A and B are shown apart, each in its own frame.
Chain A
Amino acid sequence: MIVRDVICPFCACLCDDLDVHVEEGRVTGVDNACDLGSHKFMTDHRMEGPVRRTASGWQDIPLEEAIRETAELLQAAERPLLYGWSGTCGEAQSAGVHLAERVGGIIDATTSVCHGPSILAIQEVGHPGCTLGQVKNRADVVVYWGCNPQHAHPRHLSRYTTYTDGFFVKNAFKERRLILADIRGTDSTNVADEVVRLQPGGDYAVLGALRAIVRGKGDVVPPEVAGVSREQLFRIADLCKKARYGAFFFGMGLTQTAGKYKNIRNAIELVDELNRHTKWTLTPMRGHFNVYGFNEVCTWMTGYPYAVDFSRGMAFYNPGETTAVDILARKECDMCLVVASDPAAHFPAEAVEHLASIPVVQLDPFPNLTTAFARIQIPVAVSGIDAEGTAYRMDGVPLRLRKVLDRGYPDDVTILSEIARRIGEGGGA
Chain B
Amino acid sequence: MILNTGRTIPQGNSVEFKPSPEYGAETSRAFLAPLDLMDMGIEAGDRVRIRCGSRSAVLTASASDDVLPGSLFVPYGPHANHVVPAATHGTGMPDFKGIAVEVEPTSDPVRSVWDLMEDLGGKRYDR
A344 to B118, CA, bound (A): 11
Contact in complex: B88, A320 (CB < 8 Å)? yes
List the A side residues contacting B76 at CB < 8 Å. 346
| B13 smallest CB distance to A (angstroms) | 4
Contact in complex: A151, B8 (CB < 8 Å)? yes
A37 to B63, CA, bound (A): 28
Other-chain residue from A152, A287, A372 in contact with B122 (beta carbon distance below 8 A): A372
A346 to B76, CA, bound (A): 7
Task: Check if A158 is an interface residue, CB within 8 A of chain B.
Answer: no
Contact in complex: B121, A373 (CB < 8 Å)? yes
Task: Name the residue on B nearest A116 (C-beta).
Answer: B92
List the A side residues contacting B55 at CB < 8 Å. 349-350
| B127 smallest CB distance to A (angstroms) | 6
Contact in complex: B7, A326 (CB < 8 Å)? no
Other-chain residue from A329, A351, A356 in contact with B121 (beta carbon distance below 8 A): A356
CB under 8 Å from chain B, chain A span 332-372: 342, 344-353, 355-357, 366-369, 371-372
Other-chain residue from A199, A255, A329, A342 in contact with B93 (beta carbon distance below 8 A): A255
CB under 8 Å from chain B, chain A span 173-218: 183-186, 189, 197, 199-201
List the B side residues contacting A319 at CB < 8 Å. 90-92
A294 to B90, CA, bound (A): 21
Given A186-B66, A199-B68, A348-B84, CB of A257 within 8 Å of CB of B95? yes
| A113 smallest CB distance to B (angstroms) | 6
List the A side residues contacting B9 at CB < 8 Å. 35-36, 151, 154
Contact in complex: A345, B81 (CB < 8 Å)? yes
Q: Mark B81-99, 1 if CB is under 8 A from A, else 0.
A: 1111111111111111110
| A341 smallest CB distance to B (angstroms) | 11
List the B side residues contacting A368 at CB < 8 Å. 18-19
| A214 smallest CB distance to B (angstroms) | 26
Task: Check if A99 is an interface residue, CB within 8 A of chain B.
Answer: no
Q: Mark A149-161, 1 if CB is under 8 A from B, else 0.
A: 0011010000000
Task: Check if A117 is an interface residue, CB within 8 A of chain B.
Answer: yes
List the A side residues contacting B28 at CB < 8 Å. none
Given A45-B17, A319-B92, CB of A353 within 8 Å of CB of B68? no
| B66 smallest CB distance to A (angstroms) | 3
What is the number of residues of chain B that contact chain A, defined by CB distance less than 8 Å? Answer: 57
Task: Name the residue on B nearest A364 (C-beta).
Answer: B16
Task: Name the residue on B nearest A41 (C-beta).
Answer: B16
A257 to B100, CA, bound (A): 12
Other-chain residue from B81, B118, B124 in contact with A346 (beta carbon distance below 8 A): B81
CB under 8 Å from chain A, chain B span 73-124: 73, 76-78, 81-98, 113-114, 116-118, 120-124
| A176 smallest CB distance to B (angstroms) | 23
Contact in complex: B7, A325 (CB < 8 Å)? no
List the A side residues contacting B12 at CB < 8 Å. 10, 35-36, 39, 151-152
| A337 smallest CB distance to B (angstroms) | 17
List the B side residues contacting A200 at CB < 8 Å. 2, 4, 68, 71, 97-98
A108 to B88, CA, bound (A): 15
Contact in complex: B120, A352 (CB < 8 Å)? yes
Contact in complex: A252, B6 (CB < 8 Å)? yes
A33 to B94, CA, bound (A): 32
Contact in complex: A261, B91 (CB < 8 Å)? yes
Contact in complex: B13, A323 (CB < 8 Å)? no
A326 to B123, CA, bound (A): 23
A371 to B77, CA, bound (A): 15
Task: Check if B39 is an interface residue, CB within 8 A of chain A.
Answer: no
Other-chain residue from B17, B78, B86 in contact with A350 (beta carbon distance below 8 A): B86
Chain B positions within 8 Å of A, measured between CB atoms, are 2, 4-9, 12-14, 16-20, 55, 64-68, 71, 73, 76-78, 81-98, 113-114, 116-118, 120-127
Chain A positions within 8 Å of B, measured between CB atoms, are 10, 35-36, 39-40, 43, 45, 51, 53, 58, 108, 112-113, 116-117, 120, 148, 151-152, 154, 183-186, 189, 197, 199-201, 252-253, 255-258, 260-261, 287, 307, 319-321, 323-326, 328-329, 342, 344-353, 355-357, 366-369, 371-373
Q: Which A-B residue pairs are the 5 nearest by beta carbons? A: A356-B121, A323-B92, A372-B122, A185-B66, A320-B90
